[in-house]
Amino acid sequence: MELLTSLPATAHYDVVVVGAGGAGLAAALFAAIEGASVLLLEHTGLVGGTTAWSAGTTWVPGTHHAAKVNPTDTLQAARTYLDAAIGDHAAPALRQAFLDHGAAAIQRMEDHSAVQFRPCPRHPDYLSDLPGSTLCGRALEPVPFDGRLLGHLFALLRPPIPEFTVLGGMMVDRSDINHLLARTRSWASFRHVCKIVLRHGADRLRYPRGTRLVMGNALVARLLFSLSQRGHVTLALNTTLEQLGDSGDAQGAPVRSVVIVQNGQRCTVQVKGGVVLAGGGFNRNAAQRQHKLPGTDAAWCPGAPGHTGVAQDLARLRGAQEGQGGASHAFWAPVSRRLRADGSLATFPHFVMDRAKPGFVTVNRRGQRFVNESTSYHLFGMSMQRPENAAVPAYLVCDAEALRRYGMGMVRPGSKGLAPFLADGYLTQGTTLHELAHKLGVDAQGLQASVAQINHYAETGVDTDFGRGSTAYAHHIGDRSLGHKNPNLGPIATAPFYAVRLYPGDIGAATGLATDASARVLGANGLAIDGLYAVGNDMHSIMGGIYAAPGITLGPGLVFADLAARHAVARVQAR
């Protein structure tokens, strides 16, 4: 792989990919596997996009990995589930294409690159009460990767969110966290922790952070490493897409060139096969946010900075149309915010580690519950935005025992080192619920009544208001080890009491460019624009704004990257 730091006036490639996040890297890799010459463009100076900050979970039903943990699952069951979850919010033909080609795409990637996945022993579909849902097998996670293999390219890999690391840059996944929590109770966990800590200590003698890469960082590193092994791939960082096609081309005309800019240099690139847009969606585009996500602050978005929507804007100039009918323009999660020591803003998504655990409750400014705390983070974030819920911000509340056991947001388990979080207002403490409510500006009687109700439900095991802990997914993110009647419910009784403010954060775009089943971008007449493709969050989500399972952005992103790349390469071969 060549790293392009100075642009020529003109260049020629078989395939140009715009965006080096998970889907863009995959599109470049699939095109390279087919023998194409590839130019991979990235607007920022780092590779990986939001994928590098994510868990890296990739939802693809029917792969060869699924049989290891769920041999009875079928593609028909997956289709039943998607049909029930999505309905008319997205085109059935696209999700069928995803199901038909998903397993082969994963197999092709693993057979021809360093990208490797493994099945999660238990990772339920999020709407686990719907027909066709499963508890495991469809969600894959990337195998950890040794970042030292990247050599000088390691510096180009977007680092994980600091708050998702420990000991100054050591990445940990779910398995590591469980071992860390059990290190004083289990020899196996103690040995595991010693091993990864010693490895990290050795890393820090040579590197600015740990090189044992997990989750999304491992997936991006594996994709980047695989591309680095191929001689007909060129990567251009800090490079902006300025124009799709020639300035005189009519809307809907074939896309055979692009104009790009790097460090003030402009280059016209002739493209034989096609241009694949994988810019990550519109979440950092102020105009699109105002139109699609009114009332939300861009500072609440925990996504990477490169999702400017420029590629989509340029595609619209060529007649590209947006997908329609989605249940939401974005995917959501509750987030909390805190200024770091360097003045930057940390935006922390509350996925599974706190809100659904025993000893927690979420209330609005009236002190009232408004949501099932054990629902998916997407549905939680959607509920926060309903005006009648008065839940922006919302308040995640727990007692001292729950904080010690699980932590809360950026506060780690153990209840040690709370002073900085209390001093800067990220964490609020009250010796009584009444005092906590006063400090938060929340109705005290409402909060006390909500906690009393949760405590009652903890005794009965049944939440008659919102159904907390009533599904397999909810139980998965609860805590069975305490022996409560409901693994998602426990008493809030041990003073002092704590709270963190939550905001609805858009974690990815759901509305994107309309495409066909080969990821070709569609024009106003419903016909494909020849030579133009969209994948990842630049492509309209096949999930229709429904967050059906873990990894429903990355899974389709990789599968349609394969379909787009092979279609584009076929155009080269046909010319």
Closest CA to 514 of 58, 27, 91, 31: 91
Please indicate, yes or no, whether residues 339 and 323 belong to a single structural domain of this protein: no
Among 506, 536, 565, the domain boundary falls at 506
What's phi and psi for 83, nearest 5 deg? -60, -40
pLDDT at residue 311 in the model: 96
CATH no. for residue 367?
3.90.700.10
Q: What share of the chain in percent tops pLDDT 70?
A: 100
Is there a single domain that holds both residue 349 and residue 429? Answer: yes
Peptide bond into 121 cis (omega under 30): no
Cα–Cα nearest to 283, from 564, 558, 553: 553
Q: Are 543 and 90 in contact (CB under 8 A)?
A: yes
Whether the predicted pLDDT of 556 surpasses 90: yes
Residues 117 and 63 occupy one common structural domain: yes
Q: Is 56 in the same domain as 194? A: no
- Residues 365, 413, single domain; the answer is yes
Residues in the chain: 575
380 is a domain residue: yes
Residue 537 CA to its chain's centroid (Å): 11
Domain with residue 570: its CATH number is 3.50.50.60
Whether 305 and 322 map to the same domain: the answer is: yes
What is the chain's mean pLDDT, rounded? 96
Structure confidence at residue 426 as a pLDDT band (50, 70, 90): very high
pLDDT value at position 249?
80
Q: Once rounded to an integer, what is the mean pLDDT over residues 196-219?
A: 92
Query: 175: domain range?
Result: 170-208
Which residue among 506, 523, 551 closes a domain?
506
Q: Is residue 235 part of a domain?
A: yes
Predicted confidence at residue 575, as pLDDT, reads 75
**22-65 tens-digit pLDDT:** 999 999 999 999 999 999 999 999 999 999 999 999 999 999 99
Residues 190 and 185: their CA atoms lie apart, in Å, by 8
Question: Is residue 165 assigned to a domain?
Answer: no
Query: Same structural domain for residues 381 and 459?
Result: yes
Q: Is 502 a member of any domain?
A: yes
| Domain tally, the chain | 3
Task: Work out the pLDDT band at 96, boundaries 50, 70, 90.
Answer: very high
pLDDT of 519 higher than 80: yes
| pLDDT tens track for 474-506 | 999 999 999 999 999 999 999 999 999 999 999
Which has the closest alpha carbon to 475: 138, 182, 122? 122
Let me know whether 88 and 220 are in one domain.
Answer: yes
Q: Is the pLDDT of residue 165 over 90?
A: no
Same domain, 191 and 82: no
Please state, in angstroms and rounded to a whole number, the distance separating the CA atoms of residues 404 and 21: 36
pLDDT given for residue 175 in this prediction: 83
Same domain, yes or no: 318 and 441: no
pTM for this entry: 0.96
* Average pLDDT of the segment spanning 112-121: 96
The yes-or-no verdict on residue 247 having pLDDT over 80 is no
pLDDT tens per residue across span 392-423:
999 999 999 999 999 999 999 987 899 999 99
* 422 and 455 housed in the same domain: yes
Q: Report the alpha-carbon distance of residue 546 to residue 528 in Å, rounded.
A: 25
**Claim to verify: residue 90 and residue 193 sit in the same structural domain:** no
Give the pLDDT score at 103.
98
Q: What are the tens digits of pLDDT across the range 301-324?
A: 999 999 999 999 999 999 999 999
Q: CA-to-CA distance for 107 and 65, rounded, in angstroms?
A: 10
- 470 lies in some domain: yes
DSSP string across 232-296: TEEEE-SEEEEEES-TTPPTT----EEEEEETTEEEEEEEEEEEEE-S--STT-HHHHHHHSTT-
pLDDT for position 246: 86
pLDDT at position 167 is 83
Distance CA(166)–CA(162), nearest Å, equals 8
Last residue of a domain, one of 477, 506, 535: 506
The pLDDT value recorded for residue 448 is 98
Task: Write out the H or E segment, with its range, that includes residue 31.
Answer: helix 22-33
